[in-house]
Amino acid sequence: MNAKKFIWTGVLAFSLGVLVNAQDASTTADPNQNAQSDQGAKSDMKDARHDTARAAKKTGHKIKKGTKRATHKAAKETEQGSQKVEDKTATPPQQ
């Protein structure tokens, strides 16, 4: 158990060190490069928004299709069940 904690602590410390180092490198960059970076970030945000919208539409379509399929299947099963009950309760023809 202690070995796992030690390993995860090391991984976390390494990750934080990499992030801090990357932050320092980006803040000392050329200001003109940051302007281009901002355009890239703006474009990335637009792309993310479009991807999210597309995913939401696709999910909504799948839910609608699944609900429709389940409703139709339930109606079909209900119809079959009512047919069985009708057949069992039908009076035999008189002779």
pLDDT tens for residues 59-86?
A: 999 999 999 999 999 999 999 988 888 8
Q: For residue 39, give the H/E element and its range.
A: helix 31-89
Mean pLDDT of 18-28: 57
Tell me: the pLDDT tens digits for 34-51? 555 567 888 899 999 999
pTM: 0.45
Residue 95: helix, strand or coil by DSSP? coil
pLDDT band at 19 (very low <50, low <70, confident <90, very high): low
At residue 9, does pLDDT exceed 80?
no
Q: Which residues contact 29 (CB under 8 A, 6 or more apart)?
A: 37
Q: What's the confidence (pLDDT) of residue 22?
A: 59
Q: Which residue has the tokens 């281009």?
A: 36
| CA 30 centroid distance within chain | 38
